[in-house]
């Protein structure tokens, strides 16, 4: 079965840049440093690394492998590989789960990227000069009350993403990530270097990397497994689609390791960008999502060169957000092309238009529809629960079970021919016996925790 678009990556570099761009999102920038500090610093990092390499890497390899072998959108690829292994084509539903997860996540994610672009504009126009904690809180509250403003910046983000998808793999995605991802890495390194000179760097290092093994308990281990799995962006269909564009000459296993290492590096660098400013100006490092929009602007207002720093910071966040949106939308776009026989131009406009229309519900959930709840959750919380607590862990579990128990071992060995027999044996053991129970635990505990206190 041919890839719907008939396109392939022109080089390993562009594939890696696209994959890293998809994996690295806004969650890496603020969530990983915060979770690391709250769960034992360097001790958590050690656990996270183990989870990333023994759970994240095997699933990422499996997803890329299915995409390249099946040569199609996630449902098409799953069905093709299942047929080759003399299994039911109904395995395509696993790919369908990835599509649904990507589409669901994108509806809410587009609005958050809109906030980032809006704050980039604010940084350029004002640099947050003279802002304090109360003003920063009021500023963010006014953003959440301005539906037209949120809609405008959400559409700006979707328009940029849509233009990249519309232009195709080589002219659009490759060209964009070849510029945007090196730019993001340079911005991260430059901002971290600035913080090294400006102050607070030693406190940030201690916060992130001083081990406190007393904080490593079941909840910390579960947090590490969840962070490792979700931050690599598997089970969202995007990696399967990117795998379908991957030439046979490129090693899947080596590429997966590079993607995971780059994803981890970005998360750690983000901590060295955010927390020195937080500690240097006596701000709250546990501000969560508000750290970006309510806490850091106060630091920008106080630091020397804060105007330029704020522009570069939100530019870096914008790049991370857009490249993740590209992967999410390309996943769905690939399916629409193959399923309905549309050309890329038509399918990309349909998919981006659908996301834009539904993102209105996400925007209104911050104000007008905030009191409209289902089982105690508004629209955004429901989308988050459905995608992160149900679709992603179940999808990852199903991918692991399919590759480990349904797909022919000989097919896996053929795709991973670059691995020696011992290394392949380790990966095959992990995908069969380690990954499924780990993801099953994430699913059960995640559901239990999310349903605690629910009115349903």
| Domain span including residue 241 | 12-451
Question: Which whole-number Å values give the CA distances from 109 to 22, 101, 142, 198, 360, in the listed order?
Answer: 13, 12, 19, 32, 12
Closest Cα partner for 415 from 301, 266, 249, 236? 249
The token pair that represents 311 in the structure block:
């522009």
- Residue 450: its pLDDT value, please? 66
CB 400 within 8 A of CB 436: yes
Q: Within a domain: residue 289? A: yes
pLDDT value, residue 77: 97
Question: Is 6 within a domain?
Answer: no
In a domain, 2, yes or no: no
Domain-located, residue 1: no
Q: Which long-range contacts (CB under 8 A, 24 or more apart) does 147-152 make?
A: 147/363, 147/364, 147/367, 147/368, 149/118, 150/111, 150/114, 150/115, 150/118, 150/363, 150/366, 151/114, 151/359, 151/360, 151/363, 152/114
CA distance 278 to 353: 39
The pTM (predicted TM-score) of the whole model is 0.93
Q: Is 80 contained in some domain? A: yes
Give pLDDT tens digits for 208-233: 888 888 878 777 777 787 778 778 88
Q: Are 439 and 404 in contact (CB under 8 A)?
A: no
3-class SS string, the chain:
CCCCCCCCCCCHHHHHHHHHHHHCCHHHHHHHHHHHHHCCCHHHHHHHHHHHHHHHHHHHHHHHHHHHHHCCCHHHHHHHHHHHCCCCHHHHHHHHHHHHHHHHHHHHHHHHHHHHHHHHHHHHHCCCCCCCHHHHHHHHHHHHHCHHHHHHHHHHHHHHHHHHHHCCHHHHHHHHHHHHHHHHHHHHHHHHHHHHHHCCHHHHHHHHHCCCHHHCCHHHHHHHHHHHHHHCCCCCCHHHHHHHCCCCCCCHHHHHHHHHHHHHHHHHHHHHHHHHHHHHCCCCCCCCCHHHHHHHHHHHHHCCCHHHHHHHHHHHHHHHHHHHHHHHHHHHHHHHHHHHCCCHHHHHHHHHHHHHHHHHHHHHCCCCCCCCCECCECHHHHHHHHHHHHHHHHHHHHHHHHHHHHCCHHHHHHHCCCCCHHHHHHHHHHHHHHHHHHHHHHHHHHHHHHHCCCCC
**Residue 5 domain-assigned (yes or no):** no
CA-angle at 444, arms to 442 and 447, nearest 5°: 100
Per-residue pLDDT 10s for the chain (456 aa) are 444 446 899 999 999 999 999 999 887 887 787 788 778 788 888 888 888 889 999 999 999 999 999 999 999 999 999 999 999 999 999 999 999 999 999 999 999 999 999 999 999 999 899 898 899 989 999 999 999 999 999 999 999 999 999 999 999 999 999 999 999 999 999 999 998 988 889 999 988 888 888 878 777 777 787 778 778 889 999 999 999 999 999 999 999 999 999 998 998 898 899 889 888 888 877 676 678 898 889 999 988 899 999 999 999 999 999 999 999 999 999 999 999 999 999 999 999 999 999 999 999 999 999 888 877 788 998 998 898 888 998 999 999 999 999 999 999 999 999 999 999 999 999 999 999 998 998 888 878 876 665 545
Six token digits for residue 67: 């995409």
Which residues make Cβ contacts (< 8 Å) with residue 381, sequence separation at least 6?
Answer: none
Residue 3 lies in a domain: no
Spatial CA neighbour of 211 closest among 42, 79, 21: 42
* pLDDT on residue 404: 97
Domain count, the chain: 1
Q: What CATH number should be reported for the domain holding residue 21?
A: 1.10.4160
To the nearest whole number, what is the mean pLDDT of the chain?
A: 90
285 domain-assigned: yes
Cβ count near 377 (within 10 Å)? 18
What confidence score (pLDDT) does residue 28 get?
A: 81
């Amino acid at each position: 079965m041919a890839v719907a678009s008939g396109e392939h990556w022109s080089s390993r570099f562009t594939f890696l840049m696209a994959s890293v761009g998809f994996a690295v999102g806004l969650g890496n920038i603020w969530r990983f440093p915060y979770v690391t500090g709250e769960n034992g610093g360097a001790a958590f990092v050690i656990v996270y690394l183990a989870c990333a390499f023994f759970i994240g890497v095997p699933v990422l390899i499996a997803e890329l492998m299915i995409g390249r072998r099946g040569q199609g959108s996630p449902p098409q690829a799953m069905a093709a590989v299942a047929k080759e292994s003399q299994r039911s084509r109904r395995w395509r539903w696993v790919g369908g789960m990835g599509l649904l997860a990507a589409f669901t996540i994108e509806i809410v994610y587009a609005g958050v990227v809109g906030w980032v672009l809006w704050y980039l504009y604010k940084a350029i126009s004002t640099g947050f000069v003279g802002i304090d904690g109360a003003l920063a809180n009021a500023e963010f509250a006014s953003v959440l009350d301005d539906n037209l403003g949120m809609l405008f910046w959400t559409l700006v983000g979707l328009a940029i993403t849509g233009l990249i998808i519309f232009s195709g793999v080589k002219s659009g995605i490759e060209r964009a990530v070849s510029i945007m991802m090196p730019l993001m890495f340079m911005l991260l390194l430059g901002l971290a270097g600035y913080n090294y000179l400006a102050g607070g760097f030693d406190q940030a290092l201690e916060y992130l990397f001083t081990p406190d093994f007393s904080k490593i308990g079941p909840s910390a281990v579960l947090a590490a497994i969840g962070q490792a799995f979700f931050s690599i962006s598997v089970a969202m269909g995007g990696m399967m689609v990117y795998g379908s564009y991957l030439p046979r000459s490129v090693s899947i296993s080596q590429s997966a390791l590079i993607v995971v290492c780059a994803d981890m590096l970005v998360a750690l660098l983000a901590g060295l960008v955010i927390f020195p400013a937080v500690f240097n100006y006596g701000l709250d490092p546990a501000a969560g999502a508000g750290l970006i929009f309510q806490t850091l602007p106060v630091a920008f207002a106080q630091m020397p060169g804060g105007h330029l720093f704020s522009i570069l910071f939100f530019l870096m966040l914008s790049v991370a957000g857009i490249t993740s949106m590209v992967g999410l939308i390309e996943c769905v776009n690939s399916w629409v092309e193959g399923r309905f026989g549309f050309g890329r131009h038509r399918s990309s406009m349909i998919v981006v238009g659908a996301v834009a229309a539904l993102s209105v519900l996400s925007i209104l959930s911050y104000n007008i529809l905030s009191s409209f709840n289902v089982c105690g959750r508004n629209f955004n919380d429901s989308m988050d629960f459905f995608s992160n607590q149900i679709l992603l862990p179940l999808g990852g579990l199903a991918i692991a079970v399919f590759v480990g128990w349904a797909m022919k071992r000989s097919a896996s060995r053929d795709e991973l021919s670059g691995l020696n027999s011992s290394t392949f044996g380790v990966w095959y053991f992990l995908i069969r016996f380690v990954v499924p129970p780990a993801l099953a635990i994430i699913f059960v505990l995640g559901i239990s925790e999310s349903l605690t206190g629910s009115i349903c």
